Amino acid sequence: MGLVDGKKKGPVIAVDGPAASGKGTIARAIAARFSLPHMDTGLLYRAVALNLWRWGGNPTSEFEALRACDDLGFDPSDAELRSEPVSKIASMISSYPSVRTALLERQQDFARQAGGAVLDGRDIGTVIAPDSDVKLFVTASPEVRARRRLKELVARGMNAHYHDVLADIRSRDERDSGRAVAPLKPSPDSLMLDTSDLSPEQAIAEAEKLVRERLPVANER
Ligand code: CDP
């Protein structure tokens, strides 16, 4: 934690990890627990994807994807942001360096706010806020993540099959980890949290423990 205008700055907590690892649940809970603002950075990529999809733009064109970054107003509760076509397009367009650069400032401004912040995504601890006070890297086996994603889809009334969801998770892992810019990988100072055998409550408790160990000042919050 540094100083902003001579005042103590609040903590920045980075929560990275692959699809359906539990990072979003953990980030939201940690933000609430320590009274910090939270940004789900995946939503920015999803908003770009939704823009592109609505115009009928071509996701294999970096140029068209970049245009979809203009005027990025979106409603986080819009169910289409989480639809399967939009998820797939988000994973494709997030590999374009120009798209990542277009979304960089918004995320860094959020991370720099004086009171501190929690951000979750793929590259928070490596690119967006490499000087974060705590970096959590949340993982779970592909099979566990596929079962979680399937449950979410079914709860939303969608018709999905385990093997398709698992194949999709694996191909997204490959795209996210294999891309040249900001690939999904823990930075050497990340604290690893495998949630494969943990309930959401257990995962949150474990994350809170790691934050408190790393950030003694959080014990005052
Ligand atoms: O958890 P899930 O993968 O379903 O979705 P998300 O976190 O909302 O991210 C949507 C897509 O955006 C993913 O496929 C990532 O490739 C990409 N993303 C990224 O590249 N960098 C981030 N900081 C956040 C998301």
Q: Measured between alpha carbons, how far is 219 from 70 in angstroms, rounded to an integer?
A: 41
Residue for token digits 């733009």?
57
Q: Measured between alpha carbons, how far is 40 from 37 in angstroms, rounded to an integer?
A: 10
**Which of 89, 105, 122, when mutated, tests ligand 1's pocket best, judged by the most ligand atoms within 8 Å of its CB?**
122
pLDDT of residue 157: 83
Instruction: Render pLDDT for 122-159 as a digit per residue (tens, 0 to 9).
Output: 999 999 999 999 999 999 999 999 999 999 889 888 88
Q: Measured between alpha carbons, how far is 47 from 196 in angstroms, rounded to an integer?
A: 29
Tokens representing residue 11 in the block: 């903590």
pLDDT above 90: percentage of residues in the chain:
75
SS3 120: strand
Instruction: Render pLDDT for 197-208 as a digit per residue (tens, 0 to 9).
Output: 999 999 999 999
pLDDT of residue 104: 97
Q: Is the CB of 90 under 6 A from ligand 1?
A: yes
pLDDT of residue 217: 63
Q: Is the CB of 149 under 6 A from ligand 1?
A: no
**Contacts of 100 by beta carbon, 8 Å cutoff, 6+ apart:** 94, 123, 127, 181, 182
Instruction: Render pLDDT for 75-89 as a digit per residue (tens, 0 to 9).
Output: 999 989 988 889 889
Residue 45 Cα to ligand 1 midpoint, Å, equals: 7
Instruction: Render pLDDT for 22-62 as a digit per residue (tens, 0 to 9).
Output: 999 999 999 999 999 999 999 999 999 999 999 999 999 99
Cα 93 to the center of its chain, rounded Å: 15
**Which of 44, 50, 176, 179, when mutated, tests ligand 1's pocket best, judged by the most ligand atoms within 8 Å of its CB?**
176
pLDDT of residue 176: 86
Q: Measured between alpha carbons, how far is 67 from 180 in angstroms, rounded to an integer?
A: 21
Tokens representing residue 112 in the block: 């720099």
Pairing verdict, β 134-139 and 191-194: parallel
Q: Measured between alpha carbons, how far is 130 from 36 in angstroms, rounded to an integer?
A: 18
Q: Measured between alpha carbons, how far is 41 from 62 in angstroms, rounded to an integer?
A: 20
Mean pLDDT of the chain: 91
Q: Measured between alpha carbons, how far is 112 from 180 in angstroms, rounded to an integer?
A: 26
Q: List C-alpha distances in Å: 46 to 35, 132, 191.
A: 26, 24, 27
pLDDT of residue 36: 96
Tokens representing residue 177 in the block: 């980890």
Q: Is the CB of 91 under 6 A from ligand 1?
A: yes
**25, 27, 31, 32 alpha-carbon torsion, rounded to 10°:** 10
**Contacts of 63 by beta carbon, 8 Å cutoff, 6+ apart:** none
Q: Measured between alpha carbons, how far is 23 from 139 in angstroms, rounded to an integer?
A: 8
pLDDT at 219 over 70: no
